[in-house]
Structure 1
Amino acid sequence: MTNTAQSSNLPVDEVDTTPQALRRAARLWPDGEAVADVQSGEDVRWTWTELAEQVRTFAAALIEAGLQPGERVLVWAPNTRHWVVAGLGIQYAGGVLVPANTRYTGAEALELIERTNAPVAVVAGDFLGAERISQLTEAAGGSLNGTPLKVVVRVPLGGTETATSDVINEWDSFLDTATDASLQAAERRADAVGACDVADILFTSGTTGKSKGVVALHKQTLAGSRAWGSNGELDASDRYLVLNPFFHTFGYKAGFLVCTLFGARIVPLAVYKPVEAMRLVESEKITVLPGAPTIFSTLLDAPERADFDLSSLRLAVTGAAIVPVVLVERMQSDLGLDTVVTAYGLTECSGFVTTCRPEDSDETVANTCGRAFEGMEVRIDESGEVLARGAMVMAGYLDDPENTAKTIDTDGWLHTGDVGELDSQGNLRITDRLKDMYISGGFNVYPAEIEQTLARLRGVTDSAVIGIADERLGEVGKAFIQRSTDEEGKALTPDAVAEFLIDKLAGFKRPREIEIVDALPRNAMGKVVKPELRGR
């Protein structure tokens, strides 16, 4: 058990649980601004002391609701202060955080709840025109009572909840359930959290079509956040605009957790729009702005850019796609950034494998993913596959020892599925993918999942999905559908296929182009030859 005072005095390189990180932040920067949630007409600001109290109260309410150490809690909500409180509060109470993509359908979110047997879910209210609890309820057949859920906490984002269930709690009402006894219990739970306890389970689509739950321990999650913040030279004077989603490692482990370790202000943004992002950069004097290359392209090309003062920006971190040298140069010259770095990671390593350093040249930043993060090793095997080993490598896949053993070999090397090269300085360049995965708008998309979904559509004999170039998103999906020769096949149209997928897959997974074909190209073994499709 870790004593509260001792954990507050830990140097950053010895912090290995999120409760330790939060307590340390409240002690080191008690009056420093931790969160500035200034979107949708709100202006809510908390110091690190106030954030810690919010987290402690949320943890106490979870304990009052019956959450046991090690139990999982789903968070299905956009970037707001509520997500930060919920995420840290779950772990403070000894629970395991299970983030869900905000673009998921109700059915996809329900699947995560069932696979993790989560008794609690924190769910957005009305967001992007949809009431998420209603979607969840509909996916469950009209009632949540038959699911593992005992408690649903509704994040207040507008709208009126229409689902009728005694498991649904409004945010403020839920916090009000905390008692003196449960607040004391929350502190004991936080004391008991250890470095080798599970911190989170992030789901990533698998090449078999079924998503895989990546299990990370507290020490693995914190090792990545610490290395990321150290490389970016963050400190308590920084103000960090977190527009990368909290459900992703980029917004969570390279986002608000980094701020918690280094004292930087967390400025969340729920929905990215160039003008809103620039408004926040100006009003909050933002210094740190990570994001996919598309984010910076849209900022640079925004006609309103000259109307905003963006001179406070000092650091940008980008990746997840090819970064042209000219983009790096424009980010420095037109946005006034002192430092631009690129990085490479995957969920199985908490998002951290390699990164460029602030002193690297523009060509190195644009053409490579940099060198291994502190605590990580990278090598290329005889087949050209990138292997990673070190402090950030996951504990394994949830309830899947077979795939865990295939991914992490007996020497501890994680097989990434990417093909790459290392230069003489150790900089990594990704040259290809062993798998068919493509990246759309910063999100990994696995064709096998889409193809398995298409197989359920009557009239489809077979299908093949590939990634094709897209100016805005980097890549989008294109589906080739081999239709059956019966009447249903003859009646099949691209519009019918698109309509079928609407409530089956999240928007970023749904193919943007659909082509009906009489036959797919195959090799002698009968396997679809996707390179031929890519060459069309």
Structure 2
Amino acid sequence: MERVPAWGTLPRMLRAQAAAHPGALVVDGAVRLTMQDLREQAAVAGRGLMALGVGPGDRVAIWGLNDASWVVHAFGIWDAGGVIVPLSARYKGFEAAEMITKTGAEVVVIGAGPGGAALGDLLPPLPGVRHVVGFDEVRQRGGGPRAAHEPGGVPAGAGVLDVEARALAVRPDDLCEIMSTSGTTGTPKGVMLDHAQVLRGYWDWAEIVSLGPDDRYPVIAPFNHGFGLNAGMIACVLRRAAMMPIGTFTPDGLMALVESGKVSILAGPPTLFYRLLDELDQRDRDVSSLRVAICGAAAVPATLITRLVERVGLERMINAYGLMEGTVVSMTRAGDPIEVIASSTGRVVPGIEVKIVDLEGEEVPAGERGEILQRGYGVMRGYWGEPEKTAEVVDSEGWLHTGDIGVLDELGNLSIVDRKKELYIVNGFNVSPAEVEALLLREGSLAQVAVVGVPDAVSGEAGCAFVVPRAGASVTAAGLVSWARANMAGYKIPKRVIVVDELPANPNGKTDKITLRRLAQNRGTG
């Protein structure tokens, strides 16, 4: 495998790519950017952020839908020596505020919201935040459209020197991102990753995928999601592929996207590819440009892979396993038989070790299930400001305890068979039951809430909330769902709410979620 070039940091990588390939198209959509465009506009954004007081290591939150401006300002944050804190555009105000406050971000950069929503209007006043600014204002402060002599303008000559010096001073072991991840505590944690590990992880990922300069790759996963940011946006710049930022994805537009956009790389859950095949069955469309499909799922039905190869003419279907705390762990490879891709997430990537251990922490033989432990360059630097929680998952020997249950076969293929944690996944998004419970309790009429994830034909899994009303309160499932839609990100909203008099308890006095999960499955989530 070709080693990652000795860039060391994202700012140096962008400068090297722009110098060697200035005309390479790297962003294609409503706005098109070459590598040189991105490098120049990121420097303008970096100057604007410096004018706002952003210094080396400062956290800068960015909140908005996938678009070219998001890409420019992400690289602008890195040019200014900052650490990006991506926020979901689906967040409501207090959800965004939680991560901003946790990381101590003093500058929040805001782009477009769903349906044209003005995201800045949703953010409550936060004592530590000095600036809440839109993309345009950042560029103006950086000497973009606004002349140097106008209010807020920056002398172009001095600004260029300042941002170049700042960008080149960034070190490989400096943090580049703090990503929000759900946990069983109900409070999102901030996963710290540095420049060197992100560059290496997604250079190797992109090489295994065979992502290259001729590819057109719609980034459907939001940029605030680890896959969208790292295996989407950054991977495209690393490999000079044309990313197509998708602000709001609709399954109805999938075929048009693939056909008219001449998409060659497509990533998503199995339901995405079933939808593509269903549309092909109804109408003959030209999808001959599509050559690689990437599906990060515990299992991919063999029939799906066969149909994609035969009907679409795919060169490869790739399955993979990763987690925010450990970046890329394992991937299937070219030449793997369908049964390996369907039943496993392939072998570990270079530089990563994996072992399977039992409840006592002892390694188990091949073919036996246990918790997946991972060690290597991809393991996070820790949870921001939470050394105790970091120590709970990364042991003294550097092993990350993933909380996922898996099996390694004799050839080293890793299969994911269960999750030790209670997290469930809705359309590719990790959802913490405890977080959803805490959010629902803010509604005010509930005494207790318990949320479980159950299988769902559309989203993979869905949330089912069992709620106990407070004394004298009148609670309806429809009313709670309506409140959730107004106050929670869409993927966190329970698909079903069941009002009960009390929650079942196990012998230890804790809520018996095994019983609740069984009840939810018996009653359905539709």
Tell me the TM-score normalised to structure 2 length: 0.90
**Residues 172 and 346 (structure 1), Cα distance of their counterparts in 2 relative to 1, 3 Å cut:** same
Q: Are residue 90 (structure 1) and residue 77 (structure 2) matched?
A: yes
Distance 1:269 1:368 in 2: 29
- Give 1:488-507 correspondences, 5 Å limit: 488=473, 491-507=474-490
- The offset of 1:206, in angstroms, is 1.6
For residue 305 of structure 1, report the CA deviation from its aligned partner.
7.0
1:373-384 to 2 correspondences below 5 Å:
373-383=349-359, 384=370
1:59 aligned residue (46, 51, 72) = 46
Counterpart-to-counterpart distance in 1, 2:116 and 2:177: 29
* 1:149 maps to which of 129, 135, 149: 129
Q: Using a 3 Å threshold, how does the CA distance of structure 1 residues 510 and 284 change in structure 2: closer, same or farther?
A: closer
Conserved? CA contact 1:202–1:215, under 8 Å = yes
C-alpha displacement at 1:307, in angstroms? 5.4
CA contact 2:298–2:415 (8 Å) conserved in 1? no
| Structure-2 separation of matches of 1:303 and 1:333 | 12
1:487 equivalent in alignment to 2:449: no
Aligned residue in 1 for 2:108: 121
Deviation per CA, 1:267-301, whole angstroms, max 9, x where unpaired? 21111124544334333422211122222222222
TM-fit CA distance, 1:154 = 2.0
CA contact (8 A) 1:153 1:170 kept: yes
Q: Does 1:24 align with 2:9?
A: no
Q: Quick one: distance in 1 between partners of 2:499 and 2:290?
A: 48
Deviation, structure 1 residue 390? 0.9
Relative to 1, partners in 2 of residues 1:442 and 1:367: Cα closer, same or farther, differing over 3 Å?
same
Give, in whole Å, the separation in 2 of the partners of 1:390 and 1:101. Answer: 29
1:426 deviation in Å? 0.9
2:4 aligned partner: 12
2:173 match: secondary structure: coil
C-alpha separation between the residues in 2 aligned to 1:24 and 1:170?
A: 24
Aligned match of 2:334 in 338, 349, 358? Answer: 358
1:423 positional shift? 0.7
**Partner-residue secondary structure (3-state), 1:63:** helix
Instruction: Please say if residues 125 and 133 of structure 1, whose CA atoms lie closer than 8 Å, have aligned partners that are also in contact.
Output: no
* Cα distance change, pair 155–324 in 1 and its aligned pair in 2 (3 A): farther
What whole-Å deviation, never above 9, does each CA across 1:331-350 have from its counterpart, x for those lacking one? 22222211111111111123
Amino acid of the residue matched to residue 30 of structure 1? P
AA aligned opposite 2:333? R
The question of whether the paired residues in 1 share the 8 Å contact of 2:504 and 2:512 is answered with yes
Tell me the secondary structure at the aligned position of residue 535 of structure 1. Answer: helix
* Deviation by residue 1:106-151 (Cα, 9 ceiling, x = unmatched): 1111222222222222212353252211112xx33xxxxx543333
Distance in 1 (CA, whole Å) between partners of 2:48 and 2:22 is 23
Alpha-carbon offset, residue 12 of structure 1: 3.1
**1:131 is aligned to 2:118:** yes
Structure 2 counterpart of 1:518: 501
**CA 1:456–1:249 in structure 2 vs 1: closer, same or farther (change >3 Å)?**
closer
- The residue that corresponds to 1:300 in the other structure is 277
Q: Give the Cα–Cα distance (whole angstroms) in 2 for the partners of residues 421 and 523 of structure 1.
A: 29
Distance in 2 (alpha carbons) for counterparts of 1:304 and 1:150: 54
Could you list the per-position Cα deviations for residues 56-107 of structure 1 after superposition, in whole angstroms to 9, with x for gaps in the alignment?
1111121122211111111111111111111111011100001011111111
Inter-partner Cα distance in structure 1 for 2:253 and 2:468: 44
My pick for the range that moved more, 510-519 or 269-278, is 269-278
Question: How far off its partner does 1:374 sit?
Answer: 1.6
Note closer, same or farther for the CA distance 1:79–1:308 as it changes in structure 2 (3 Å cut).
farther
Give 1:155 shift.
4.3
* 1:250 paired to 2:195: no
Is the CA contact 1:153–1:171 (under 8 Å) kept in the aligned structure 2?
no
1:267-278 equivalence runs, <5 A: 267-278=244-255
The aligned residue for residue 409 of structure 2 is 423
How much does 1:321 deviate? 4.9
Could you tell me whether the CA contact under 8 Å between 2:61 and 2:84 is conserved in 1? yes
Gaps of 5+ in 1: 1-9, 141-145, 157-168
**Which residue identity lines up with residue 464 of structure 1 in the other structure?**
A
* Alignment-mate amino acid for residue 510 of structure 1: I
Q: Hey, what's the Cα distance between the residues in 2 that align with 1:357 and 1:388?
A: 19
Q: Which moved more, 1:275-284 or 1:441-450?
A: 275-284
Where do residues 329-408 of structure 1 align in structure 2 (5 Å cutoff)? 329-350=306-327, 352-383=328-359, 384-408=370-394
Contact 1:315 1:338 in 2 (8 A): yes
Structure 2 CA distance for partners of 1:220 and 1:338, relative to 1, 3 Å: same
Q: In 1, are the aligned partners of 2:463 and 2:492 still within 8 Å (CA)?
A: yes
Contact 1:278/1:305 (<8 A) preserved: no
Q: 1:460 offset after TM fit, Å?
A: 2.8
Q: Distance in 2 between matches of 1:245 and 1:321?
A: 21
Match of 1:164 in 2: none
Listed as ranges, the matches of 1:438-477 within 5 Å are 438-477=424-463
Secondary structure of the 1:334 match is helix
Spell out, residue by residue over 1:382-424, the C-alpha distance to the aligned partner (whole angstroms, 9 max, x if none). Answer: 2311111111110000000000000100010001111111111
Alignment match, 1:239:
216
Paired residue type of 1:531? I
> Following the alignment from structure 1 to structure 2, what is the Cα–Cα distance between the partners of residues 397 and 52?
30
> Map of 1:117-196 to 2, 5 A cutoff?
117-136=104-123, 139-140=124-125, 146-155=126-135, 169=137, 175-176=144-145, 177-178=153-154, 179-196=156-173
Q: Say which of 107, 122, 141 aligns to 2:94.
A: 107
The alpha-carbon distance between structure 1 residues 378 and 35, as it changes in their structure 2 partners (threshold 3 A), is same
Q: Secondary structure at the match of 2:227?
A: coil
Under a length normalisation based on structure 1, what TM-score does the superposition of the two structures give? 0.88
Q: Check the 8 A contact 2:255/2:279 in 1, yes or no.
A: no
Kept in 2, the 8 Å contact 1:292–1:321? The answer is no
Instruction: Out of 90-99 and 451-460, give the one that drifted further.
Output: 451-460
Alpha-carbon distance change, 61 to 304 in structure 1, aligned in 2, over 3 angstroms: farther
Once the two structures are overlaid, the 10-residue window that deviates more, 112-121 or 369-378, is: 112-121
Runs of 4+ in structure 1 displaced over 4 angstroms? 170-174, 456-459
Distance 1:450 1:114 in 2: 19
Aligned residues of 1:12 and 1:261 also touching (Cα < 8 A) = no
